[in-house]
A and B are shown apart, each in its own frame.
Chain A
């Protein structure tokens, strides 16, 4: 079943070349989609246009049968509760504890007063504990977020997205500032979230080999247009060069192939 559909979406920032031009694709429920491309190719803009953190200049976006691109304020908030988002720099409130940051994911469901005062019911708290347990950071629950490591922060970020009960999670370069070990842990958790809970994932990535190893489907971006859309098996070195327009990427691809073989 189609969950997300983009039709001719474009985005122009003033005074520059279009960041996205005429982007169309659809995503099925439970798919793990990686978006790859060089810096400035429009990956981040694409992800933020889907939940309208960035306002697209044109085109249509529908999510779960709702026209996201036509929604007004409260309707947009309602749709956003069903779309989680994970950021490269975690975007946590560093001075608050882990559990407080996780429960922020419930704010979209709250009345103004309950949200302002931070009142969460026991069901919501229980759910937060369960998610922290699954992500292996339940013991950090009462730690302040400025006292935990980058990999742990990213898991808190994922927990915040999960507690929303989303149908889809957008991950904007979730492992770009993590070391290889933490990156693998994060990617494994994301993979499990997708397969166990059936949550659709759209991830922008810099590492082609990671995209090849984890995704059902890869979308390659170059200068705001789609240059590749298909399963990892069809992504040939030539295509990668076409997406990135550089040689060294093919090397890293061959390296990852050798790794997979060995």
Chain B
């Protein structure tokens, strides 16, 4: 009966909200989090930031140094994203429903994708530091592994979306496996994959900053140095430059996306 459906829906929404409220209160009690204190400290941090964390004229003299490190960071992000994309493409072609040779490869590719994606970037950086110490190779590999996990999954979804219809059509003409991949599957999915790659590069520039803290490379390291030596003016300049770069990358890739999709 229609009336029951509405009553049921209301009941479900109420139960859901009650559940969320209970979850929030429960976690606040367990962690002894005081919301009032929390809000006040955010305000305090905000005012501290306004009075200390801004670039002054003197800090501008460090700009060339910052830009050099920024360039390194950008190049490393691009290099790691592109390298990961090449390998991810191979894994995705192996694992996608429409192009796989055997269902085993789907599990294989999915497994690799999940593993590399679900180990946090910071953990990758820490582990890799044991073998490669503080070098840009460590940063590169950490970003590479993270990107590989994400891109494998994204590429596989893209290939699955292309669907089996064109694959079926070309198979019916007597075309061979590689013909089908290069003539039907890749032309349909490359723009979408390129879009994912651009997204990955953006994300990696952000993450490279974090990885740089740990591996002692790039703009992240520079930030760390100035921040820990209480030179907040230069540190804030680095943050601003990074934000501008990320926004610029985002708008560039949006432009490219509009062109290709």
**Please, how many residues of chain B have a CB less than 8 angstroms from a CB on the other chain?**
20
Dominant secondary structure at the B interface: helix
Does B172 reach chain A (CB closer than 8 Å)?
Answer: yes
Q: Please indicate the chain A residues that have their CB under 8 angstroms from the CB of B174 in the complex.
A: 77-81, 107-109, 164
In the assembled complex, the CB of B168 is this many whole angstroms from the nearest CB of chain A, namely 6
A94 to B175, CA, bound (A): 18
Q: How would residues 171 to 183 of chain B score, 1 for a CB under 8 Å from any chain A CB and 0 otherwise?
A: 1111110110111
A91 to B175, CA, bound (A): 14
Q: Please indicate the chain A residues that have their CB under 8 angstroms from the CB of B178 in the complex.
A: 112, 115-116
Q: Please indicate the chain B residues that have their CB under 8 angstroms from the CB of A91 in the complex.
A: 165-166, 168-169
Which A-chain residue is minimally distant from B171 (CB atoms)? Answer: A53
Does A189 reach chain B (CB closer than 8 Å)?
Answer: no
A160 to B171, CA, bound (A): 13
Q: How would residues 66 to 83 of chain A score, 1 for a CB under 8 Å from any chain B CB and 0 otherwise?
A: 000000000001111101
Does B195 reach chain A (CB closer than 8 Å)?
Answer: no
Does B231 reach chain A (CB closer than 8 Å)?
Answer: no
A172 to B166, CA, bound (A): 14
A52 to B242, CA, bound (A): 57
Does B188 reach chain A (CB closer than 8 Å)?
Answer: yes
Interface residues of A in 106-158 (CB under 8 A from B): 107-110, 112, 115-118, 157
A89 to B173, CA, bound (A): 16
**Please, how many residues of chain A have a CB less than 8 angstroms from a CB on the other chain?**
33
Q: Please indicate the chain B residues that have their CB under 8 angstroms from the CB of A257 in the complex.
A: none
Are A116 and B169 in touch, CB under 8 angstroms? no
Given contacts A93-B183, A115-B179, A115-B183, contact A81 B169 (CB under 8 A): no
Q: Please indicate the chain A residues that have their CB under 8 angstroms from the CB of B171 in the complex.
A: 53, 80
Which B-chain residue is minimally distant from A53 (CB atoms)? Answer: B172
12 A-B pairs with CB atoms under 8 Å apart are: A53-B172, A81-B174, A84-B173, A85-B172, A92-B169, A93-B166, A93-B187, A96-B187, A104-B170, A107-B179, A109-B174, A110-B179
Additional A-B contact list (17), CB under 8 Å, known A53-B171, A87-B168, A116-B183: A53-B168, A53-B172, A78-B174, A80-B171, A84-B172, A85-B173, A87-B165, A91-B165, A91-B169, A95-B187, A95-B188, A107-B174, A107-B179, A108-B174, A109-B174, A115-B175, A117-B182
